[in-house]
């Protein structure tokens, strides 16, 4: 007879079944590869069954593993729901609130942290910088702020407002290249922009329409982008709320109509039951209302 089954072993089993190797499962679960191997061995011993066949390129499910997988996945989904709803069982406005947002919006939120803390003093705030989609289902964040709505029916969206973009340059650079203020800027000035992996960003797509070559300075980070412009590397398309507060930058174009974009607050529907998440949403919505003119570049 097998030993008592450990739930953590089941989660590891699902990861290995999905990813095919111990190393990939270890990276996703933030465990060591030997620990993943031991978890699989422990589960096999508790069930008295071989769950995987080892192949040169990884692991494939054995017959017992194939039979177990749908049951294990159902357990995983149920555990994820319990984890998301855990805090909703309490009515206290306490705990940690993790917000995921791109770099420039993260700096804006950081400026507002004293107000956020004052409004909800018992909540601990985490600002996670990311412009890739994080998994709210697995609680990689509680809230997302994004310019695009993902295709995920389990997420609830709330519009925060709109953000405007314009062209900016360093004062010294604009003085040396007065064409920065005219449409000649696209041909006669250097530009700072995003790298190829981030060419889908709205600001970069707009710039690519107006130039027949890539930016002379490229990055994958919005804060590096701002700093490169401040250092005189060239012009860039920047959100007004971020650029207007940077000493040494000046706007050299009107607000770009095509780049007045919506900002969305996203939350998993299960987390709406959590008091601290509901309270944080209300505070963030009010914050964006107060700063509407700045966000629109007015």
Give the CB-side neighbour count of residue 222, counting CA atoms within 13 A.
22
Report pLDDT digits (tens) over 114-155.
999 999 999 999 999 887 666 655 567 789 999 887 776 678
Q: Which of 82, 100, 134 is the last residue of a domain?
A: 82
Q: Are residues 97 and 65 in the same domain?
A: no
Q: Are residues 109 and 212 in the same domain?
A: yes
Is a pLDDT exceeding 50 seen at residue 1?
no
Q: Are residues 280 and 204 in the same domain?
A: yes
Spatial separation of the C-alpha atoms in residues 162 and 264, rounded to whole Å: 9
Q: What's the pLDDT score for residue 141?
A: 78
Does residue 2 sit within a domain? no
- Whether the model clears a pTM of 0.85, i.e. scores above it, the answer is no
Q: Are residues 186 and 38 in the same domain?
A: no
Report pLDDT digits (tens) over 175-186.
999 999 999 999
Q: Are residues 158 and 60 in the same domain?
A: no
Contact 141, 133 (CB under 8 A): no
Q: What's the pLDDT score for residue 153?
A: 64
**101 φ, ψ to 5°?**
-160, 155
The partner residues of 159 in beta bridges, in order of sequence, read: 264
Q: Which residue has the tokens 């299960």?
A: 270
Q: Are residues 25 and 66 in the same domain?
A: yes
Q: Are residues 71 and 110 in the same domain?
A: no
Q: Are residues 16 and 103 in the same domain?
A: no
Q: What percent of the chain has pLDDT over 90?
A: 65
Q: What percent of the chain has pLDDT over 70?
A: 90
Q: What is the mean pLDDT of residues 23-38?
A: 91
What residue numbers bound the domain in which 294 lies? 90-298
Does residue 1 sit within a domain? no
Q: What's the pLDDT score for residue 135?
A: 61
Q: Are residues 40 and 134 in the same domain?
A: no
Instruction: Please provide the DSSP assignment of 208-231 as one string.
Output: HHH-SS--SEEES-HHHHHHHHHT
Q: Are residues 103 and 124 in the same domain?
A: yes
Q: What's the pLDDT score for residue 248?
A: 95
What angle do helix axes 7-19 and 22-29 make, rounded to 10 degrees?
120
Q: What is the mean pLDDT of residues 96-112?
A: 92
Q: How many domains does the chain have?
A: 2
């Amino acid at each position: 007879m097998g030993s008592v089954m450990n739930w953590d072993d089941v989660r590891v089993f699902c990861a290995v079944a999905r990813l095919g190797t111990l190393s990939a499962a270890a990276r996703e679960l933030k465990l060591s590869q030997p620990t993943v191997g031991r978890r699989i061995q422990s589960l096999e011993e508790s069930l008295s069954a071989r769950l995987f066949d080892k192949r040169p390129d990884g692991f494939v499910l054995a017959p017992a593993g194939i039979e177990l997988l749908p049951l294990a996945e159902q357990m995983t989904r149920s555990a994820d729901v319990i984890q998301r709803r855990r805090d909703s069982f309490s009515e206290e406005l306490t705990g940690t609130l993790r917000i995921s947002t791109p770099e420039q919006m993260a700096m804006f939120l950081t400026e507002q942290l004293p107000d956020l803390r004052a409004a909800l003093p018992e909540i601990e705030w985490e600002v996670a910088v990311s412009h890739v989609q994080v998994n709210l289902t697995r609680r990689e964040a509680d809230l997302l702020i994004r310019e695009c709505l993902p295709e995920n029916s389990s997420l609830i969206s709330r519009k925060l407002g709109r953000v405007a973009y314009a062209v900016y340059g360093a004062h010294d650079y604009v003085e040396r290249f007065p064409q920065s203020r005219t449409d000649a800027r696209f041909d006669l000035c250097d530009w700072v922009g995003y790298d190829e992996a981030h060419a889908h960003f709205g600001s970069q797509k707009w710039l690519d329409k107006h130039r027949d070559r890539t930016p002379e300075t490229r990055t994958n980070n919005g804060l590096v982008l701002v700093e490169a412009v401040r250092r005189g590397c060239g012009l860039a398309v920047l959100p007004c709320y971020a650029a207007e507060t940077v000493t040494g930058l000046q706007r050299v174009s009107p607000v770009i109509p095509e780049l007045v974009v919506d900002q969305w607050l996203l939350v998993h529907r299960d987390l709406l039951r959590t008091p601290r998440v509901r309270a944080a949403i209300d505070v963030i919505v009010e914050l964006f209302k107060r700063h509407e003119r700045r966000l629109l570049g007015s």
